[in-house]
Chains A and B, each alone.
Chain A
């Protein structure tokens, strides 16, 4: 019974395509996140979202957009994919509001490869 699940686990696509990664959490958490982990293993926050507020990391291109149909889901849409978008994308959730001091529960990651 996975707490934070994301699909697909692997995604290989061509430059210029549009793709989505889905994320669902069954922990009843208030806040969800998308992180990008590049080849150097740095985790970079992309979006933080709860039912009241969306915080966007200003360095994220507007080709990336989060969509939340409800509190338990936060999907990531990426338009016009570029080679530099290749990375592992982690969804995460936490109890409480939009604070970095909350413990994060991560999904297993989605490895995106752009050819």
Chain B
């Protein structure tokens, strides 16, 4: 079967750095997405990785290792507004999008 694993919940402090991990076992790989979803709102696109390595976009960075079936989302200089769920999703060999359950990130002052 196809599986995406993320921690259910993480807590971090305002101003700090947090890394949210995602491991996957899928039938093939054609890219990995990270989406942010604030409570009661729509998911919004953060990043897309298809090649190994780190992609930086402001305070957010996303890393991919295809050989390890592993990605992480790195959030720097955390702000209270970063409190949200972060969804990892993998595109499989049939170009179907497989979603993880998301990681709820709680930011404390």
Contact = CB atoms under 8 A, between A and B. Distances in A.
A108 interface: yes
Interface in B32-88: 33, 35, 40-45, 48, 50, 85, 87
A71 B33 CA distance: 25
A109 B102 contact: no
Using C-beta atoms within 8 Å of the partner chain, give the interface range for chain A: 10 to 19
A104 B45 contact: yes
Given A43-B87, A100-B91, A101-B30, A106 B99 contact: no
Given A106-B43, A107-B42, A108-B41, A100 B101 contact: no
Dominant secondary structure of chain A at its interface with chain B: loop
B85 A100 contact: no
A55 to B, nearest CB: 9
B45 A103 contact: yes
A41 B42 contact: no
Contacts of A98: 95
Contacts of B42: 4, 90, 106-109
Interface of A: 4, 40-45, 90, 98-101, 103-109
22 contacts: A40-B101, A41-B85, A41-B102, A42-B99, A43-B87, A43-B89, A44-B99, A90-B43, A99-B95, A100-B30, A100-B96, A101-B30, A101-B31, A101-B50, A101-B91, A101-B95, A103-B45, A104-B35, A104-B45, A106-B43, A108-B41, A109-B41
